[in-house]
Amino acid sequence: MPRRLLMRLRAALICAFVASLPLATIWDSAWSLWQRVGVLAVAGVGVFSLLERWPRRLPAWLARWALQVAGVALAMPLTTLAIYLFWTTSSEPFWQQPERRLGFGLLLVLGVLLAPWIALAALVRQKDALARHQALAFELERSELARQASDARLHLLQAQVAPHFLFNTLANVQALVDAQAPQAPALLRSLTAYLRAAVPRLHEPTGTLGHELALVRAYLDLMHMRMPDRLRFSVSAEAALHTLRCPAMTLLTLVENAVRHGIDPAEEGGRIDVAVCRAGAHCVASVTDTGVGMGQGSGGTGLATLRERLALQFGAGARLRLYPVVPHGVRAEIEFPAMEEST
């Protein structure tokens, strides 16, 4: 039996039992009374459920809910009459016996007065439940569309970051080739090997902190080959943090920014320190350079895109902040939830 029909039947039996309690004090047998009101409740639920789907088409002037309420109201006297004609056995018809005639009248009045209102209340409750179900379905659909839009936006940002990174790296190498520096051939070979490992990850929206640190270290090695006397660096992070989830090219964007806007313009070069630690439920990664410091262009499109990517992946749980370093330089710090990357 369908779950909805069982729930209706249970509710109707409870209502019938409560409504018949006053009659139990004057009825000769309470069990006999509750059997009869139980039959009335079952008949009402049956008619209510039958008219919910049958007939399939109704005239335009007849509403389905009105048909159900009218059907329940009509079922009460018919069922009461059937009970007294076919259930009880007696040599005389019930209308010739005062007590049975009184019982018939009380059940008839009780059913006709209460059953249509109970049916109407069930329709209102059913309508509210349907409205809540539709609202929930709409909210789920809206959430799914929002998630798909965020994924699409994240992939678009990732697609913008990849060529930006490649062009900047190639521009650095091109400067060495143009200057006919002796270390240019070795640098090109290192760059080719590095790109072969890095490019497949450029289009991945997320990865592990270990992969990101490996790319950062390889990139700084390349930049150190380009300017061995002007760049010093360090990369430090506990091994336990390497499996944490990290958006692809997050730290690499900060390091590239430090090289391009901090170390390159500085006459004497400088130092870049990359450090990652855990602070409670968050991961804090910092890139500190001793370059020329904050100025026009030190933020740029790269940081704006990085902020948006972090917001899409972590919402308000991620932050990117910039601090000036004394006597000169910039410290870029990212904080995001420490979550293990699923395998």
Per-residue tokens: 75: 């079922």
- Determine what percent of the chain is predicted with pLDDT higher than 90: 35
Half-sphere exposure of 247 (CA within 13 A, CB side): 28
Report pTM.
Answer: 0.55
Residues contacting residue 257 through CB under 8 Å, at least 6 positions apart: 287, 298, 300, 302, 303, 332
| Helical spans, DSSP H, in 205-334 | 209-226, 250-258, 300-314
Q: Is the bond into 59 cis (omega within 30 degrees of 0)? A: no
What average pLDDT score do residues 232-256 get?
89
Whether the pLDDT of residue 61 is over 80: the answer is yes
Q: Can you give the pLDDT at residue 10?
A: 92
DSSP state of 322: E
Half-sphere exposure of 191 (CA within 13 A, CB side): 22
The Cα 287–Cα 224 span in angstroms is 16
Per residue in 190-220, pLDDT tens? 777 667 666 666 666 678 898 888 888 888 8
Whether the pLDDT of residue 299 is over 60: the answer is no
String of DSSP letters for 274-293: EEEEEETTEEEEEEEE-SS-
Per-residue tokens: 220: 């700084």
Measured in whole angstroms, the distance separating CA 65 from the mean position of its chain's CA atoms is 36
The Cα 129–Cα 103 span in angstroms is 37
| CA dihedral sign, ordered 135, 140, 144, 149 | positive
Per-residue tokens: 290: 């001793």
Pairing of strands 319-324, 231-237: unpaired
Helix, strand, or coil here: 270?
strand
**pLDDT grade, residue 294 (50/70/90)?**
confident
Helix, strand, or coil here: 181?
coil
Widest CA span in the chain: 124
| Nearest one of 114, 110, 84 to 96, comparing CA atoms | 84
Half-sphere exposure of 44 (CA within 13 A, CB side): 33
Per residue in 35-45, pLDDT tens? 999 999 999 99
Per residue in 84-125, pLDDT tens? 988 866 778 888 888 889 999 999 999 999 999 999 999 999
Backbone angles phi, psi at 237, to 5 degrees: -165, 140
Per-residue tokens: 5: 């029909």
